[in-house]
Amino acid sequence: MKKTGVFYGSTTGTTESVANLIAEKLGIAQADVHDVSKMSTDVAGAYEALILGTSTWGDGELQDDWHDGIKVLKGMDLKDKIIALFGCGDSESYGDTFCDGMGILYEDLKTSGCRFIGAVSDVDYTYSSSISVIDGNFVGLAIDDVNESEKTEERIASWTDMLKADLA
């Protein structure tokens, strides 16, 4: 498997928990799971593939720790990097901005030359709007651990199985 690092921004711990579960399912060592607030070009540059996770806050905003993290990534040469995204959101209370943070990461990095993997159909989700959806697919894995916690493990298992081919 390509050398893969998981980077997450988490305020309440949900995104951190999801990041750790994703790492476990992919066989990624705990040493390769990073809080994005500690991201540097040296750390991120050591990986061939990056799995980036964020929650969505306020009016569809990126989790706070990502404001500096995205600057680090935008300052790097990502041409040969593979990137997979995951986002945590609340589709019931914030259905009009569901997982928008993930969409912001995508928008910020889409012209970087990286290759995105891990798009997920939005068919099994209930929400009214999301900038992270393009042509009926989320740009990565969307998780609603608030209202659909019973689907979290299954969604992560399916998604990580899908990623394995691209990370081989």
Contacts of 126 (CB under 8 A, 6+ apart): 91, 92, 95
Q: Which long-range contacts (CB under 8 A, 24 or more apart) does 22-29 make?
A: 22/51, 22/53, 22/86, 22/156, 22/159, 22/160, 25/156, 25/157, 25/160, 26/1, 26/160, 26/163, 26/164, 26/167, 27/1, 28/4
| Secondary structure of residue 164 in the 3-state scheme | helix
CATH fold for domain 4-167: Rossmann fold (3.40.50)
Q: Where are the domains of the chain?
A: 4-167
For the segment 47-88, what is each residue's pLDDT rounded down to a tens digit?
A: 999 999 999 988 888 899 999 999 999 999 999 899 999 999
User: Model confidence at 95, in pLDDT bands (50, 70, 90)?
Assistant: confident
| Secondary structure of residue 64 in the 3-state scheme | coil
- pLDDT for 143 beyond 90: yes
Distance CA 78, CA 86 (A): 18
The residue type at 84: A
Could you tell me the two tokens for 159?
């998604």
pLDDT at 40: 94
Residue 62's nearest CA partner among 43, 94, 87, 33 is 87
Could you tell me the two tokens for 24?
């476990």
pLDDT at 132: 96
Residue 66's nearest CA partner among 145, 13, 74 is 74
For the segment 113-126, what is each residue's pLDDT rounded down to a tens digit?
A: 999 999 999 999 99
User: Model confidence at 149, in pLDDT bands (50, 70, 90)?
Assistant: very high
23: phi then psi, degrees, rounded to nearest 5? -60, -45
- pLDDT for 156 beyond 90: yes
pLDDT at 2: 93
Q: Mean of the pLDDT values across residues 18-32?
A: 96
